[in-house]
Amino acid sequence: MNLNTITSSIQFYNWNNYRCAYEVYQPNNQPNASNSDVTPIVLLHPIGVGLSRKFWHRFCQEWYQQDKPNQIYNPDLLGCGESDKPRVAYYPEDWAEQLRCFLQKVVKKPAILIVQGALFPVAIELAQKYSNLISGLVLACPPNWKVITQETSNQQQKIIWNLLNSPLGGAFYRYARREKFLQNFSVKQLFGSDDAVDAEWLNTLRTGSENPATRHAVFSFLAGFWRKNYLHGISSIEQPTLVVVGEEISSISKEGKTVQADEWLAQYLAVLPQGTGIKLPGRNVLPYESTTEFVEGISPFIAKFSDSYSQSGKN
């Protein structure tokens, strides 16, 4: 494996009196990558049962196996992994503020965000308020257009949250972290191939969900706190943005069930001011399911960035 961490153990920073975890990776042939003019990458992991920054470990390994020069920052969002897990409702605005702190305190220079799935609203909130911290965006299988641009009821969201944030919700979470449930859900909703739902994936989810406090971030996602009309936010993203969809991409929500990959992609590109797009083999978790193809697919876009390119892209 051609991957080195800058330090031998996980690192931490403080945000809002919470302890937040992250890892930093750099290429073997560039020990001073943090001081180079190569734009760093910051990864945003998805929210789900057992998910954390570990979702990206395959990607990080493959990135350096393909001799890419970028330093990679891989944080755990609050409520996930080894970050603190308060019993609160998590909104995209909260995670965006956490990432703002992370970019300012830890990364200390504009970065390319690679965002998996429904974490796109976090990137939108960040781009709207702190545009200077972002050089570019890669959206890996963003939500269906109808989902990301449809207003939902705050009252309904709070009702679902209150139901889940109860003993009934705790019982549901214990059921949802069973291996059989995780395997069936992954096959039906996430992966294009049954064989891709391997032991590594299931072990990661099972281990990551052992702490019952991880349920609060998952319940916030299920309550739909991330769902509102982001049309204006998307149309105002000024940074170069690459949209990557799987050839078999599908919607978990009932909205957009019949939308195919070409239409999925076209709807984003019609609105993003500096949007480009590609399709890759796979379904909804391309960085994990189709890691090699994903790295190869996004590399030309990432390679365009340097500090000077990033600054010119903001003008």
pLDDT of 254: 65
Give the Cα separation of 164 and 10 in Å (integer): 31
How many whole angstroms separate alpha carbon 312 and alpha carbon 87? 42
For the residues 155-169, what does the mean pLDDT come to?
93
Nearest Cα to Cα of residue 244 among 193, 281, 270: 281
Please report the pLDDT score of residue 152 as a whole number: 86
Residues 196-222, mean pLDDT to the nearest whole number:
96
Q: What is the largest CA-CA distance in the chain?
A: 53
199-204 average pLDDT score: 96
**What is the full DSSP assignment across 9-72?**
S-EEEEETTEEEEEEEEE-TT-TTGGGSSBPPEEEE---STT-SGGGGHHHHHHHHHTT----E
Q: Residue 204 has which token pair?
A: 């990661």
Average of per-residue pLDDT across 224-238: 96
- Indicate whether 308 pLDDT > 50: no
Mean pLDDT of 261-280: 97
Q: How confident is the model at residue 2 (pLDDT cuts 50, 70, 90)?
A: very low
pLDDT digit string (tens) for 76-109? 999 999 999 999 999 999 999 999 999 999 999 9
Cα separation, 101 vs 133, in Å, equals: 10
Would you give the end-to-end CA distance of the chain in angstroms?
A: 39
**Calpha distance 201→49 (Å, rounded):** 12
Which tokens sit at 282? 């796979």
pLDDT at 29: 59
Q: Which DSSP string do the residues of 176-235 spell out, in sequence order?
A: HTSHHHHHHHIIIII-SSGGGS-HHHHHHHHHHTSSGGGHHHHHHHHHTTT-S--HHHHH
User: How many other CB atoms are found less than 10 A from the CB of residue 38?
Assistant: 19
pLDDT digits (tens, 9 = 90+) for 25-50: 987 656 565 657 899 999 999 999 99
Q: How confident is the model at residue 10 (pLDDT cuts 50, 70, 90)?
A: confident
Share the mean pLDDT of the chain.
Answer: 91
- Note the pLDDT tens digit of each residue in 49-65: 999 999 999 999 999 99
**pLDDT of 3 strictly over 60:** no
Q: Mean pLDDT throughout 185-190?
A: 95
Does residue 106 contact residue 82 with C-beta atoms inside 8 Å? no
In this prediction, residues 240-247 reach a mean pLDDT of: 98
| Structural domains for the chain | 4-314 (3.40.50.1820)
